Amino acid sequence: MPGEWSCDHCDLSTVTATRQDLLKRVRSHLLRQGGSILVHESPDGGDHAACVSHLSAYDSDETGVLCLTKTPAAKLEAYHREVGEWPFDFHVLTPSMDASLPEGHVATAADFAGGPLSVTEIEPTALDSVARDINDSLTELADRNDHVAVCIDTLTELVTTFGPKPIFKLVHALNGRFRGVGAFAHWHYAPDTLMDSTNHVVRELFQLLHDTRGDEATLQTL
């Protein structure tokens, strides 16, 4: 059957006439219930359009956005360019605070002080503190917003730094947390830089893959 899918985490199973309908239904299931998408990108990074399309999947005035990113300025700029306004809350966690923040025409001081934006430096060398920082931010955003959208663009670096095993555990735990609070998350990952066996296990942690490497991005169920 081209369009048959059952969720690993609840009793939903669905049959649709076409693959396209199925992908739509799976994505909207993840949006409603909370869940995570794996985004494959080339080693030199993806374009921001896929990222922002996931981050802005809900109404922005009811959404808290959480980004763990190595390029905070580029992320904020891309979001503002594509969406035209800020979400209710926008938390950025970054290991590279020295990466410059966006120019004044994108974000003003008022956007930060008491506004929607906050940028916090995290300690990337301690995995449990990374997990704790994500967790704390997630709790706060879920308390204050109807919806939470999450971007983690450091998965490749995390696997390279800590090795696959601890990162599989982290992704598994966080994906469970995202479902628990109904957050819609996506993780950026560059499979071309890592071993096939590692890529295979990473895929097993997800139900939907967004491959942005070709000329045309594709979605597939996993």
Residue closer to Zn ion, measured from CB, 107 or 185: 185
For the chain, the residue count is 222
Instruction: Find the shortest distance in angstroms from Cβ 57 to Zn ion.
Output: 12
Distance CA 149, CA 55 (A): 5
Element (H, E) at 110: helix 109-112
Q: Applying CB under 5 A, does 51 fall inside the site for Zn ion?
A: yes
Task: Please choose, from the candidates 74, 118, 111, the residue with its C-alpha nearest in 3D space to the C-alpha of residue 93.
Answer: 118
Is residue 31 a contact point for Zn ion (CB under 5 A)?
no
Nearer to Zn ion, 12 or 99 (CB): 12
Residues near Zn ion (CB under 5 A), total: 6
Smallest distance, Zn ion to C-beta of residue 63, A: 14
The Cα 149–Cα 195 span in angstroms is: 29
Does 131 sit near Zn ion (CB under 5 A)? no
CA of residue 147 relative to chain centroid, distance: 14
Taking the least distance from each CB to Zn ion, the nearer of 67 and 107 is: 67
Binding mask 149-168 for Zn ion (x = CB under 5 A): --x-----------------
How near is the Cβ of 162 to Zn ion at its closest, in Å?
A: 20
CA 122 to chain centre: 17
Stretch that binds Zn ion, among 7-15, 87-95, 97-105, 163-171 (CB under 5 A): 7-15
Of 115-123, 128-136, 137-145, 148-156, which segment contacts Zn ion by CB under 5 A? 148-156
Helix axes 127-144, 155-162, angle to 10 degrees: 150
Residue among 10, 49, 97, 109 that touches Zn ion (CB under 5 A): 10
- The answer to the question of residue 9 lying near Zn ion (CB under 5 A) is yes
The least distance separating Zn ion from the CB of residue 110, rounded to whole angstroms, comes to 25
Longest dimension (CA), the chain: 54
Rank residues 66 and 142 by Cβ distance to Zn ion and give the closer one.
66
Amino acid at 97: M
Contact (CB, 8 A) for 95 and 122: yes
**Residue 161 contacts residue 193 (beta carbons within 8 Å):** no
List of residues contacting Zn ion (CB under 5 A): 7, 9-10, 12, 51, 151
